[in-house]
């Protein structure tokens, strides 16, 4: 076959302070930077879905027509300019024809300034061009908010099964295998699609522990001879539109078999609802416990500053956990990575060893947060270029812009000019901080950090410091959810919350 391939990934937090512009996708912000044409093929060795698809398709002897791949860090809405410019490149290539099938590497939780369902809009536009018979196979993130329109216009959707996402390339390989089944059979797959009645906190979705680990174990067992694919997307609980939430779906060439698999997985999901809830610590509780545990620990105590995670729409510059460390006398502690280009530039102008007076971070306008005005010692400077050596994006080059390590009392702070979630130890090393040598590490991340940091952690704590991304969905100012969905496991429905507010 000749297969047209393209990718367009964004996870949208509609409550976040900063939108994703075209420049965000050009930079990548923790994803590979925007690539076009043959440059897309360089992703074959990167742990992203299109990389796995390229390898599998090439192994099977297919010719690929690479168009574009673009991804940006989670944030508020994708601007209309960015969506239309990137989308137009995909659609123009589709309109030219000359291929037998399409593979798209999408996220599944994109909200644009104009469309609640960015992926559904893109897929519908593709379908208008190619018609109903063209195979269009799509890989999705585990955090996809899968919509009816996505299901309608894709021949098949397949989602990641790990969080941290260490199986992104593997998901692309599964997409290639499903495409092979579609072509071999010469007939469409039947889909059974189910929507769960409650939102799940992001921190509860980690597949290294129950209940998510059990859910995916059940999912894999349901894929048998007659069931081509089963997927579960816990969703991204920060997109304010009616189809936000967890979904289950299955494909088979028999509708009965698809229904059987989807119903079995859905039953497990709703039966385990109470297990999906998550406890959190306050900033001071987390700092105090970290200080106490670190006294005897031989490995770092890690605190996930989850509500300012740039991977879910935070700006990675709130100061709540830094202040808590200082209040509680933390030593040999490091925080990363704070996104503050102005302070990073000031540190570079001053030089290593200088002391600078700065108002660090605190620029997201989050209630309860403000810049940390203090004098900092500049301990290390770099150009921010590094390589990902951890399980996620392994082998890819990273770019943080100007980076500085600033020290205040017993706390080192990695500051960067480009925003990026901390899911690789090298984001500290590029700031001159050896993470294994710290007693306490505060990471601007929710779960992805576990892929590379869990091996060096004595204890992992999750803190709810002020931030743009409410770790508990019940704390968000929802306006447009489905009336019946519960805003947390075993929690109140959106309709009942709205009635109380009125």
pLDDT in tens, 17-55: 889 999 999 999 888 999 999 999 999 999 999 999 999
Predicted local distance difference test score (pLDDT) of residue 156: 98
Q: Could you give the C-alpha distances from 126 to 122, 423, 490, in angstroms and in order? A: 6, 34, 39
Beta strand spans in 107-200 (E): 136-140, 156-159, 190-195
Cα(404)–Cα(378) distance, rounded to whole angstroms? 7
Q: Could you give the C-alpha distances from 341 to 19, 426, 483, in angstroms and in order? A: 17, 19, 41
SS3 351: coil
- For residue 271, the surrounding DSSP H or E stretch is helix 255-271
Whether the pLDDT of residue 135 is over 90: the answer is yes
Cα(142)–Cα(108) distance, rounded to whole angstroms? 9
* pLDDT > 90 fraction of the chain, expressed in percent and rounded: 92
Burial class (CB in 10 A: 0-12, 13-18, 19+), 18: buried
Cβ–Cβ < 8 Å for 219, 269: no
Q: How many Cα atoms within 13 Å fall on the side-chain side of residue 481?
A: 29
Cis-peptide, bond into residue 255, ω within 30° of zero: no
Whole-prediction pTM: 0.87
Predicted local distance difference test score (pLDDT) of residue 416: 98
DSSP code at position 439: S
> The tokens 């295998």 sit on which residue?
177
Cα(169)–Cα(163) distance, rounded to whole angstroms? 13
Cα(137)–Cα(172) distance, rounded to whole angstroms? 10
Predicted local distance difference test score (pLDDT) of residue 238: 94
Lowest mean pLDDT across 5-9, 422-426, 465-469: 465-469
CATH number of this structure's domain 189-278+472-502: 3.30.70
Q: What is the pLDDT of residues 192-244, one digit of tens each?
A: 999 999 999 999 999 999 999 999 999 999 998 799 999 999 999 999 999 99
Q: How many Cα atoms within 13 Å fall on the side-chain side of residue 398?
A: 31
Domain extents for the chain? Answer: 1-187, 189-278+472-502, 283-468
Predicted local distance difference test score (pLDDT) of residue 279: 86
Q: What is the pLDDT of residues 389-423, one digit of tens each?
A: 999 888 889 999 999 999 999 999 999 999 999 99
Name 226's bridge partners.
none
Going by C-alpha positions, the residue among 87, 36, 96 that lies closest to residue 66 is 36
Cα(69)–Cα(25) distance, rounded to whole angstroms? 9
Going by C-alpha positions, the residue among 461, 188, 198, 451 that lies closest to residue 305 is 461
Mean pLDDT, the chain, as a whole number? 96
Q: What is the pLDDT of residues 336-364, one digit of tens each?
A: 999 999 999 999 999 999 999 999 999 88
**Average pLDDT, integer, range 473-490:** 95
Predicted confidence band of residue 311 (pLDDT cuts 50, 70, 90)? confident
Lowest mean pLDDT across 59-63, 172-176, 366-370, 373-377: 366-370
Predicted local distance difference test score (pLDDT) of residue 502: 62
> The tokens 């009616």 sit on which residue?
242
Q: What is the pLDDT of residues 236-267, one digit of tens each?
A: 999 999 999 999 999 999 999 999 999 999 99
Going by C-alpha positions, the residue among 436, 382, 432 that lies closest to residue 407 is 432
Going by C-alpha positions, the residue among 137, 263, 139 that lies closest to residue 192 is 263
Q: What is the pLDDT of residues 321-341, one digit of tens each?
A: 999 999 999 999 999 999 999
Q: How many Cα atoms within 13 Å fall on the side-chain side of residue 392?
A: 23
Cα(91)–Cα(289) distance, rounded to whole angstroms? 53
> The tokens 């990575």 sit on which residue?
337
Predicted confidence band of residue 501 (pLDDT cuts 50, 70, 90)? low
**Average pLDDT, integer, range 446-472:** 94
User: For the domain with range 1-187, which CATH number is right: 3.40.50.2300, 3.40.50.1820, 3.40.50.300, 3.30.70.260?
Assistant: 3.40.50.2300
* pLDDT > 70 fraction of the chain, expressed in percent and rounded: 100
Predicted local distance difference test score (pLDDT) of residue 356: 98
> The tokens 């990471």 sit on which residue?
443
């Amino acid at each position: 076959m000749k297969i047209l391939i393209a990718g367009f990934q964004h996870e949208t937090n509609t409550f976040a302070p900063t939108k994703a512009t075209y420049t965000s996708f050009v930079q990548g912000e923790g994803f590979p930077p925007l690539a076009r044409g043959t440059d897309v093929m360089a992703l074959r060795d990167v742990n992203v879905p299109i990389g796995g698809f390229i390898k599998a398709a090439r192994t099977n002897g297919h010719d690929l027509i690479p168009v574009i791949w673009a991804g940006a860090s989670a944030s508020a809405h994708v601007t209309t300019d960015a969506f239309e410019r990137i989308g137009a490149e995909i659609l123009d290539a589709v309109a030219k024809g000359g291929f037998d099938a399409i593979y798209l590497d999408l996220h599944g939780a994109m909200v644009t300034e104009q469309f609640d369902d960015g992926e559904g809009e893109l897929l519908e536009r593709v379908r208008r061009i190619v018609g109903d018979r063209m195979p269009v196979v799509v890989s999705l993130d585990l955090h996809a908010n899968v919509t009816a329109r996505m299901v309608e216009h894709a021949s098949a959707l397949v989602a990641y099964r790990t969080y941290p996402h260490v199986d992104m390339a593997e998901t692309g390989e599964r997409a290639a295998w499903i495409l092979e089944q579609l072509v071999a059979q010469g007939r469409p797959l039947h889909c059974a699609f189910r929507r769960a009645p409650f939102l799940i906190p992001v921190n509860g979705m980690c597949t290294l522990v129950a209940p998510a680990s059990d859910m995916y174990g059940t999912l894999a067992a349901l894929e048998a001879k007659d069931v081509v694919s089963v997927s579960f997307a816990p969703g991204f609980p920060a997109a304010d539109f009616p189809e936000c939430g967890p979904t289950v779906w299955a494909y088979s060439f028999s509708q009965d078999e698809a229904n059987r698999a989807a119903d079995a997985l859905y039953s497990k999901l709703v039966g385990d609802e109470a297990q999906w809830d998550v406890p959190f610590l306050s900033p001071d509780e987390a700092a105090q416990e970290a200080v106490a545990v670190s006294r005897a620990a031989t490995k770092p105590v890690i605190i996930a500053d989850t509500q300012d995670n740039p991977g879910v729409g935070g700006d990675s510059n709130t100061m709540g956990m830094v202040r808590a460390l200082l209040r509680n006398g933390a030593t040999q502690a490091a925080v990363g990575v704070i996104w503050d280009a102005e302070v990073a530039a000031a540190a570079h102008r001053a030089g290593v060893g200088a002391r600078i007076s700065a108002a660090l971070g605190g620029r997201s306008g989050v209630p309860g947060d403000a810049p940390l005005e203090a004098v900092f010692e500049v301990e290390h400077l770099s150009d921010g270029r590094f390589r990902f050596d951890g399980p996620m994006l392994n082998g890819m080059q990273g770019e943080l812009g100007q980076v500085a390590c600033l020290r205040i009392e017993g706390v080192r702070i990695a500051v960067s000019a480009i925003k990026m979630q901390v899911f690789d130890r090298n984001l500290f090393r590029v700031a001159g901080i050896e993470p294994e040598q710290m007693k306490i590490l505060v990471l601007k991340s929710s779960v992805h950090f576990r892929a590379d940091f869990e091996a060096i952690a004595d204890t992992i704590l999750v803190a709810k410091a002020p931030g743009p991304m409410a770790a508990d969905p019940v704390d968000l100012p929802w306006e447009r959810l489905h009336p019946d969905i519960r805003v947390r496991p075993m929690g109140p429905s959106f309709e009942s919350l709205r009635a109380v507010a009125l």
